[in-house]
């Protein structure tokens, strides 16, 4: 990568292009109905969406107005029927599903990783961490970097006798949801004591808002450890760990290893976390972002044309739109995930009849 030029310029370019289109579109664009699609939700996926939606607008004339307000906000907006689609880094939970009250579809869009970043002066290699060690660090049980269990995973590495300072998110986030879902799967103690969700009661550490807050704490204090999105870590040249996966391999998070994590047998509704993946070469702290829509599209006086435009956009996202993933450090949909996503989109209906043929 070339300093700050890599992803930063691409993300800014995508965002500026999307903003340019939005600024110069007619004031009554919302009234143009079938020419405007409105979405809201995940901030994690926003750089990719900005690029895809700008490209789609150039090719089709369809304006996509996406509001990056967080996964929870996207789900609420969809529940309130103020958007055409929501985007979330976690599938609907039971409470959210009850509030919506009718069947919805989850369509995976892309995936990325949550990485474990750390500040160990003088160590230039990517250290190895195992599931049990990760869990006990974040439970506050392992307190120093030269702990025998960490040393056994990193033979030949001069681990310092520094105290471990844990940094975690203080705000609700999809990143936390993915990370705690992983911890919940690999640690019975974590499952019983903390659980999983976009916000949890952390047993140890200091809270920081957003990726930048966690990264700031880790960077400022030697011995710091935290979790951030892969794209953020790469952009900010942060060191991160290789994690031992279910097959016993130490895997460095990358586009290839995240794509591999999702290339497993997914349920027909795609509502599955891919943490602790069965894939031999998969990075185990990976996750999808989903677009969520109503299965039956005839609601709130929506026209057949409007429903068709939404489905065509989402079909574009999972096909042509995947070309933009790698440049922005997202993993494209695996073969398995793409096949499931196609079937889900084809199940969407208008007056009970399939929209996509």
Domains of the chain: 6-111+287-354 (3.40.190.10), 113-261 (3.40.190.10)
Collapsed DSSP state (helix, strand, coil) of residue 22: helix
pLDDT digits (tens, 9 = 90+) for 224-234: 999 999 988 98
171's CB contacts (< 8 A; 6+ apart) are 199, 209, 210, 213
Tell me the C-alpha distance between 197 and 213, whole Å: 19
Query: How is residue 204 annotated by DSSP?
Result: S
pLDDT digits (tens, 9 = 90+) for 235-288: 889 999 999 999 999 999 999 999 999 888 899 999 989 999 999 999 999 999
pLDDT digits (tens, 9 = 90+) for 99-141: 999 999 999 999 989 999 999 999 989 999 999 999 999 999 9
pLDDT of residue 66: 97
Q: Give the global pTM.
A: 0.80
Task: Calculate mean pLDDT across residues 34-49.
Answer: 90
Alpha helices in the chain (DSSP H): 6-24, 46-60, 71-79, 94-100, 131-138, 148-153, 174-186, 188-193, 210-220, 230-235, 255-261, 304-318, 335-346
pLDDT of residue 171: 85
Tell me the C-alpha distance between 312 and 321, whole Å: 12
Assign 20 a pLDDT band (cuts: 50, 70, 90): very low
Question: 50 near 15, Cβ under 8 Å?
Answer: yes
Q: Backbone dihedral region of 351: left (phi > 0), alpha (psi from -120 to 50 degrees) or beta?
A: left
In degrees and rounded to multiples of 5, residue 201 shows phi and psi of: -85, 100
pLDDT digits (tens, 9 = 90+) for 76-105: 999 999 999 999 988 998 999 999 999 999
Question: 149 near 133, Cβ under 8 Å?
Answer: yes
Our measurement of the distance from residue 64's CA atom to the centroid of its chain's CA atoms, rounded to an integer in Å, reads: 20
Question: 29 near 36, Cβ under 8 Å?
Answer: yes
172's CB contacts (< 8 A; 6+ apart) are 70, 72, 198, 199
pLDDT of residue 4: 40
Q: Is the pLDDT of residue 5 over 70?
A: no
Assign 33 a pLDDT band (cuts: 50, 70, 90): low
Q: Backbone dihedral region of 228: left (phi > 0), alpha (psi from -120 to 50 degrees) or beta?
A: beta
pLDDT of residue 227: 96
The long-range contacts involving 95-102, CB below 8 angstroms and separated by at least 24 positions, are 102/294, 102/295, 102/296
Instruction: Tokens for 261, please give them.
Output: 């994590």
Task: Calculate mean pLDDT across residues 307-313.
Answer: 97
pLDDT of residue 98: 96
List, edge to edge, every strand of the sheet that includes 128-129: 128-129, 242-244, 250-251
Q: At what angle do helices 304-318 and 46-60 cross, to 10 degrees?
A: 120
Closest CA relative to residue 287, chosen from 153, 168, 196, 166: 196
Q: Which of residues 129 and 170 earns the better pLDDT score?
A: 129
pLDDT of residue 127: 98
Question: 153 near 134, Cβ under 8 Å?
Answer: no
**DSSP β-ladder status, 85-88 and 286-294:** antiparallel
């Amino acid at each position: 990568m070339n300093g700050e030029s890599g992803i930063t310029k691409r993300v800014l370019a995508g965002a500026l292009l999307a903003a340019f289109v939005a600024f110069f579109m007619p004031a009554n664009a919302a009234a143009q109905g079938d020419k405007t699609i409105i979405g809201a939700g995940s901030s994690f996926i926003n750089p990719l969406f900005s690029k895809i939606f700008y490209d789609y607008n150039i090719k089709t004339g369809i304006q996509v107005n996406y509001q990056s307000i967080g996964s929870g906000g996207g789900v609420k907006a969809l529940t309130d029927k103020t958007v055409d689609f929501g985007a979330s880094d976690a599938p609907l939970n039971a409470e959210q599903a009850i509030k919506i009250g009718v069947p919805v579809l989850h369509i995976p869009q892309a995936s990325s990783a949550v990485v474990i970043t750390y500040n160990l002066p003088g160590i230039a290699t990517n250290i190895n961490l195992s599931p049990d060690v990760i869990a006990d660090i974040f439970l506050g049980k392992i307190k120093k970097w030269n702990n025998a269990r960490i040393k056994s995973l990193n033979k030949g590495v001069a681990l310092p006798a520094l105290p471990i300072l844990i940094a975690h998110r203080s705000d609700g986030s999809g990143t936390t949801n993915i990370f705690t879902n992983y911890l919940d799967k690999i640690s019975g103690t974590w499952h019983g004591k903390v659980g999983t969700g976009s916000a949890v009661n952390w047993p140890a550490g200091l809270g920081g808002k957003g990726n930048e807050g966690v990264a700031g704490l880790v960077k400022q204090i030697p011995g710091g450890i935290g979790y951030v999105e892969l794209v953020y870590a790469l952009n900010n040249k942060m060191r991160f760990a290789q994690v031992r996966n279910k097959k016993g391999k130490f895997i460095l998070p990358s586009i290839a290893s995240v794509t591999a994590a999702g290339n497993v047998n997914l349920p027909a509704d795609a509502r599955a976390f891919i943490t602790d993946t069965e894939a031999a070469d998969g990075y185990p702290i990976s996750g999808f972002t989903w677009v969520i829509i109503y299965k039956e599209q005839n609601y709130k006086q929506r026209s057949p044309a409007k429903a068709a435009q939404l489905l065509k956009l989402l079909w574009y996202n999972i096909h042509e739109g995947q070309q933009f993933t790698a440049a922005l450090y997202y993993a494209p949909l695996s073969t398995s995930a793409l096949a499931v996503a196609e079937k889900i989109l084809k199940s969407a209906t208008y007056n009970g009849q399939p929209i996509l043929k």
